[in-house]
Amino acid sequence: MVAFCSVENLRQYLNTVDLGELLVGLSTSLEETFKRWEEFQLIPRVASHSTYGVIELMPTQDNQRYAFKYVNGHPINTKVGRQTVVAFGVIADVETGYPIFMSEMTVLTALRTAATAALATKWLSKPQHLDRPLALIGAGAQAEFQAIAHKALFGITDFRVHDTDPDAVKKLQRNLSALGLNVSGLDSSAEAVRDAGVITTCTADKRNAVVLHDDDLVASHHINALGGDCPGKTELDAALVNRSDVYVEFEAQTRIEGEIQQLPTDSDVTELWRVISGEMQSPSGSEITLFDSVGFAIEDFVVLNFMYERLAQTSFVSDIDLLAEPADPKDLFGFVYGSSGGARG
Ligand code: NAD
């Protein structure tokens, strides 16, 4: 049997815990795992593109556990009442190859993306960025989780938001004001970022969009750019990317999918884990630090293992009958057609 966490069970579990505390714990778990980055098998995700969007498989393993996530990215979906991103994932035991845990990952992706962005803010921002409001460009499915992670890690309570869809801003205001956070809706990105320290861009459009122009930024900032995550799908002005000190998850994947698609292939970038592990110094002199995030398999590995530790032995997981296990492992036929079924007792 394989332990399974459904959408409904995850929803119920999250309603029993403090989301901020959970995101702090997840961020710590990501930080610890980024320190042992070199123990992991690193491969860019396998992407299947179509005119509608993309469907991706994101695998990795550390020689003890293997994990993969199935995830899509379909910006047109919200127009017909569907989500841009849905996902599920699996952890398996490397020694036997047997899956041990399967979970919904649409919500888990939002959690790990928020915890990863907050971790990037921790290592790449400057203290003066954290005393100011956070600008959110894009108020969609990821937005609340981004705000709550930054509240939990840094105490940020003021958010300046721009989205082309006024209803998305109203939704964010409604959800965050219930948690005591202040959300101001602004008519443009330039206005949203004016007094901000940290900036998060998280918009969805399957093209090279510019949601933040270079001349929108006249001060020092840390940017978490999350929405540009496919070939031909970027969010930032190339001039802004060009003048930023750029950090990425896994360079080989980000060259294909991130904002740095817009730069020469030998442009300077640093993988975030190198800063977290102490191999490289945190940035000090740069005016703009940019975390060009596309989402990497190790983040999914971490959130799946984190949730498995928390949920195993609780009523929020159930067993699913996913693996055929004949009593005689060589008699799969007898297991299916034999009179006793031949299942392991
Ligand atoms: P969503 O569709 O729920 O929200 C996107 C929001 O962006 C919408 O409210 C839309 O109105 C707004 N928007 C679109 N164009 C805009 C523009 N020019 N200016 C301002 N707002 C604009 O999507 P989501 O689930 O919140 O995801 C957002 C993006 O983040 C997607 O592109 C997704 O692929 C990406 N993503 C990245 C990661 C990562 O790890 N880096 C993880 C999850 C999602």
Residue 344: predicted pLDDT: 59
Q: Considering only 56-70, 142-156, 178-192, 202-216, which range has the smallest mean pLDDT?
A: 202-216
pLDDT band at 341; cut points 50, 70, 90: low
Ligand 1 is surrounded, with C-beta below 6 A, by 73, 78, 84-85, 109, 113, 137-142, 162-165, 168, 202-205, 209, 211, 226-227, 229, 293-295
235 Rama class: left (phi>0) / alpha (psi -120 to 50) / beta: alpha
In the predicted structure, residue 343 carries a pLDDT above the cut 70: no
Query: Of all protein residues, whose CA lies closest to atom 44 belonging to ligand 1?
Result: 227
Tell me: the pLDDT tens digits for 264-281?
999 999 999 999 999 998
Query: What are the residue ranges of CATH 3.30.1780.10 in the chain?
Result: 2-107+298-322
Q: Which of 78, 84, 186, 234 to mutate to test the pocket of ligand 1 (most atoms within 8 A of CB)?
A: 84
DSSP state, 79?
G
In the predicted structure, residue 301 carries a pLDDT above the cut 80: yes
In the predicted structure, residue 62 carries a pLDDT above the cut 70: yes
Residue among 62, 163, 229, 237 flagged as catalytic: 229
Higher pLDDT, residue 134 or 208: 134
Distance CA 252, CA 260 (A): 11
Strand 221-225 versus strand 208-212 pairing type: unpaired
In the predicted structure, residue 284 carries a pLDDT above the cut 90: no
In the predicted structure, residue 206 carries a pLDDT above the cut 90: no
Query: What are the residue ranges of CATH 3.40.50.720 in the chain?
Result: 110-296
| E strand or H helix that includes residue 171 | helix 166-177
Q: Measured from the CA of 204, which atom of ligand 1 is nearest? A: 32
pLDDT band at 207; cut points 50, 70, 90: confident
Tell me: the pLDDT tens digits for 105-129?
999 999 999 999 999 999 999 999 9
- Name the maximum alpha-carbon separation found in the chain: 76
Taking residues 144-148, report their average pLDDT: 98
Taking residues 285-290, report their average pLDDT: 93
In the predicted structure, residue 30 carries a pLDDT above the cut 90: yes
What does pLDDT average to over the chain? 95
Protein fold of 2-107+298-322: ornithine cyclodeaminase, domain 1 (3.30.1780)
DSSP per-residue letters across 237-271? -HHHHHHSEEEES-HHHHHHHSGGGGS-TT---EE
pLDDT band at 286; cut points 50, 70, 90: confident
Taking residues 161-177, report their average pLDDT: 98
Residue 121: predicted pLDDT: 98
Residue 193: predicted pLDDT: 98
DSSP state, 23?
H
In the predicted structure, residue 345 carries a pLDDT above the cut 70: no
pLDDT band at 80; cut points 50, 70, 90: very high
Active site annotation includes 229: yes
The architecture that CATH gives domain 110-296 is 3-Layer(aba) Sandwich (3.40)
The total of other beta-carbon atoms located within 10 Å of residue 328's CB is 11
Query: Of all protein residues, whose CA lies closest to atom 40 belonging to ligand 1?
Result: 295
